[in-house]
Amino acid sequence: MRIAITVWENRVSPLFDSARTALVVELDRDSARERRYEPLGPEIPISRALKLSQLGVRVLICGAISEFFADLIAAQGIQVIPFVTGNVEEVLEAYIKGSLTRDPFRMPGCGKRRRHRFRGGRGGFRGRWSI
Amino acid sequence: MKPEKLPPRVTEIILDSISNGVFTIDHDWFITSFNRAAEEITGIGREEAVGKHCWDVFRSNMCEKDCALRRTMKLGKDFVDTSTYIVDSEQRRIPVVVCTSLLRDEEGRELGGVEIFRDMSLVEELRRELDGRFQVGELVSRSPSMRKVFNLLPQVADSDSTVLIEGETGTGKEVLARAIHELSPRGEKPFVAVNCGALPDSLLESELFGYKAGAFTNATRDKPGRFAQAEGGTIFLDEIGDTSTAFQVRLLRVLQERTFQPLGATAEVRADVRVLTASNRDLSRMVLEGEFRQDLYYRINVVRLALPPLRERKEDIPLLVEHFINRLNSLRGKSVTGISPETLTILMSYEYPGNIRELENIIEHAFVLCPEGRIAPGCLPESLAGPSKHSSPAGSIDDTLRSVEGQAILEALKRNGYNRLATARELGIHKSTLFRKIKNLGIQIPKIDGRTKGAAGV
């Protein structure tokens, strides 16, 4: 399965809408088999959604993301895990281990009030929204 | 006289009493203070914000590439009124204006930076409301349901994707397609519209892909198809749901391969054409019922735009009437000044099965009978002006108007989560007028307070 994490230096990019690069990782069982950096192109919601879809991404891990971007990406069948912060390698490892819901990876203000429910790891999603 | 000594924590008290958000950071970009307005604007409590990196709290589009605080810290210079936006925990974009300065202690030693920001949401909203309408090309509206379409337009236009426009007959699908084309990088190239439902299969194929001389009897010379005419530009395939499955297979191939073969030709022709499609039928249902090919549906449904029928955006009727009057005045050299309130009332109470096209025809009809002055009820087609289809058989016109008015108010209330002030604003009437109408028309409102957060959007 292929996932993407928006990156800024060695961190998760704080805002997907203006992020410039994504780390695309091919996961094989419990390890990252292949990885490459991809530019995300212009800050246009539909072109970003299509870009991720063309890259074959199934899951997007990112920082904050505005609703409009998130909806268009979800419409491409991509699961969005928003409001994630921290070092990219640690985030990737946590995702593989299923422990991404832990506090250190959560942006401030995105705890209990969050509308998104996910169990924090591979195969653990129950749909993107739980409105 | 010596001034009184200020109480301790005075700076904090002052900062908490202002409406601008203020936060300070140290040299490692950790937030060291966060005032009350900052909490309100970002929706993040200070106990959660302090000690966190500023970009994880502020989440602005300038954090990554053009941070004003970073520039201030680097150059030792203040920056004033930088416009940007932040994204809050509810995924809303909040427009803000930012000022940044260095933070120094009493001896002038640099402690870090300070950022002051102002929420511009209200200003932006007022700016939009001042005009109140959106217009792109021939598309004109002030309805919230159309606002979504308008917001999407620039991105959709830019993307070069295939688009599916759904909407009833007469809702303006071709107008929307043209607007997408004109806003797109292909805007200078041809826009070719084809009504697929109007032609039988064999004709549709030769119309779209063209033919070579000798391809069939009477084909005496080569004829380029519509795809060839649209080269570099956009082709709009209307009523795509009315095509046969055999034709759908051919079209799917063109969309996948980006090539087509004119009738009687031996070689494929490359097509650099953007395809926009439209249907007045529910294609997803047609797919389920086996009437439309699923593979083609997925191919054309990359971006889907739904145009609401006119009966669901009646607030647009006055605007559309004005738009058609202006256009017909300049086309026909007439001087119709507007529409009388009685005429508008009749137009507002009609259901428009033919949507905007029907409204346009009604105004065109009125232009024949009323070449100048205001359009009176007598200028409307008989079916509208007389004892009409839209009124209930037993009721008088007054009853009908009251019922329509009541319905319009109730729908507006629902749209605004029963917030009376927002409803009055949307309807363009004073809130006391709204209260009076609610009472007089006997509109039943659920016992919830529309001002309470969370009531909207239920």
DSSP string, B344-383: HHHHHH---TTHHHHHHHHHHHHHHH--EEEEPGGGS-HH
Interchain pair A17, B48: CB under 8 A: no
Read off the pLDDT of residues B284-322 as tens digits, 9 standing for 90 and up.
Answer: 999 999 999 999 999 998 888 999 999 988 888 888 898
Question: Do the bridges between strand A2-8 and strand A59-61 make them parallel or antiparallel, or are there none, so unpaired?
Answer: parallel
C-alpha B209/C-alpha B260 separation (Å) is 7
CA nearest to B304, candidates B166, B153, B124, B139: B166
- At B380, list the tokens: 């409307």
Residues of A in contact with B151 (CB under 8 A): 68
Does residue B303 contact residue B163 with C-beta atoms inside 8 Å?
A: yes
Could A14 and B59 be called an inter-chain contact, meaning their C-beta atoms sit closer than 8 Å? yes
Phi, psi (deg, nearest 5) at residue B253 = -65, -40
- Does the beta-carbon distance from B87 to A15 stay under 8 Å? yes
In the prediction, which pLDDT does B197 show? 84
Measured between beta carbons, the chain A residues lying within 8 angstroms of B70 are none
Q: Which of A13, A45, A107 sits opposite B64 (nearest CB)?
A: A13
Q: Stretch B420-434: mean pLDDT, rounded?
A: 80
Closest to B280 measured CA to CA, from B242, B243, B313: B242
Distance (Å, rounded) from C-alpha A22 to C-alpha A60?
9
The residue whose two tokens read 């108010």 is B409
Q: What is the pLDDT, as a whole number, of residue B190?
A: 94
Q: Does B430 score more than 70 pLDDT?
A: yes
CA-nearest residue of chain A to B163?
A46
Above 60 in pLDDT, residue B204? yes
Average pLDDT, chain B: 84
Please spell the DSSP secondary structure of B264-295, one letter per residue.
T-SS-EE---EEEEEESS-HHHHHHTTSS-HH
Question: Quick check: B196 contacting A, CB < 8 Å?
Answer: no
- Of B293, B284, B211, B195, the C-alpha closest to B252 is B293
pLDDT at residue B6 greater than cutoff 80:
no
Cα–Cα distance measured from residue B28 to residue B180, given in angstroms and rounded to the nearest whole number: 46
Give the type of residue at B440: N
Bridge partners, residue A60, by sequence: A4, A80
- Bridge partners for A37 per DSSP: A23
Q: Would you call B128 an interface residue with chain A, using a CB distance cutoff of 8 Å?
A: no
Instruction: Output the domain CATH number for residue A22.
Output: 3.30.420.130
- Position A126 pLDDT exceeds 50: no
In angstroms, the CA B312 to CA B308 distance is 6
A87 touches chain B (CB under 8 A): no
Question: Per residue in A94-104, is it b (16+ CB within 10 Å) or e — as a string?
Answer: bbbeeebbeee
pLDDT in tens, B217-227: 777 788 889 99
Helix (H) and strand (E) counts for chain B?
20, 18
Q: Please answer yes or no on whether B158 and A13 come within 8 Å at the CB atom.
A: no
Domains of chain B listed by start with CATH number: 10-124 (3.30.450.20), 132-308 (3.40.50.300), 311-385 (1.10.8.60)
Range of the domain at A17: 2-129
The Cα B285–Cα B308 span in angstroms is: 18
The predicted pLDDT at position B194 comes to: 93
How far does B161 lie from chain A, in Å, by closest CA?
9
Residue A122 has pLDDT above 90, yes or no: no
Q: Is the pLDDT of residue B132 over 70?
A: no
For residue B399, pLDDT over 80 is answered with no
Number of continuous H segments (helices) and E segments (strands) in chain A = 3, 8
Using a CB-CB cut-off of 8 Å, the residues of chain A touching B48 are 108-109
Closest CB from A20, A43, A64 relative to B59 = A64
* Long-range contacts of residues B69-77, Cβ cutoff 8 Å, at least 24 apart: B69/B25, B69/B100, B69/B113, B69/B115, B71/B100, B72/B100, B72/B101, B72/B102, B72/B113, B73/B27, B73/B102, B73/B112, B73/B113, B76/B102
ipTM confidence score: 0.84
Q: What are phi and psi of B134, to 5 degrees?
A: -120, 140
Chain A environment of B302 (Cβ under 8 Å): 50
More confident of the two residues A75 and B347: B347
Q: Please classify residue B264 by burial: count the beta carbons closer than 10 Å to its beta carbon, then call 0-12 exposed, 13-18 middle and 19+ buried.
A: middle
Q: Bridge partners of B62?
A: none
Q: How many CB atoms lie within 10 A of CB B97?
A: 16
CB contact (8 A) between residue A108 and residue B48: yes
Give the span between the Cα atoms of B176 and B196, in whole angstroms.
17
Q: How far apart are CA B195 and CA B204, in angstroms?
A: 9
Quick one: pLDDT at residue B434? Answer: 83
Give Rg (Cα) of chain A: 13
| Chain B CB contacts of A109 below 8 Å | 42-45, 48-49, 57, 88-89
- Rounded to the nearest 10°, the torsion over CA B22, B26, B28, B30 is -40
C-alpha to C-alpha distance for B414 and B417, rounded to whole angstroms: 5
Q: Are A81 and A121 in contact (CB under 8 A)?
A: no
Q: What is the pLDDT of residue A2?
A: 95
Q: Note whether A47 contacts B: Cβ–Cβ < 8 A.
A: yes
Q: Which two tokens stand for residue B218?
A: 């009477």
- Looking at the partner chain, which of A47, A108, A109 has a beta carbon nearest the beta carbon of B158? A47
The whole-number pLDDT of residue B335 equals: 83
Please tell me which residue of chain A has the smallest CA distance to B303: A46
Count up the domains in chain A and report the number. 1
Interface of B with A in 303-322 (CB under 8 A): 303
Among B318, B317, B224, which Cα is nearest to B263's?
B224
- Which member of A13, A20, A44 has the closest CB to residue B158? A44
Low-confidence winner among A116-125, B89-98, B351-360 (lowest mean pLDDT): A116-125
The top-scoring range by mean pLDDT among A16-25, B88-97, B334-343, B363-372 is A16-25
Contact B59 A18 (CB under 8 A): no
Q: How confident is the model at residue B130 (pLDDT cuts 50, 70, 90)?
A: low
- Answer whether residue A57 shows pLDDT above 80: yes
pLDDT tens sequence across B28-71: 999 999 999 999 999 999 999 999 999 999 999 999 988 999 99
Element (H, E) at B111: strand B110-119
Residue B367 CB: number of other CB atoms within 10 A? Answer: 20
Binary contact (B42, A63; C-beta < 8 A) = no
**Is A115's pLDDT higher than 60?**
no
Confidence of residue B133 (pLDDT cuts 50, 70, 90): low
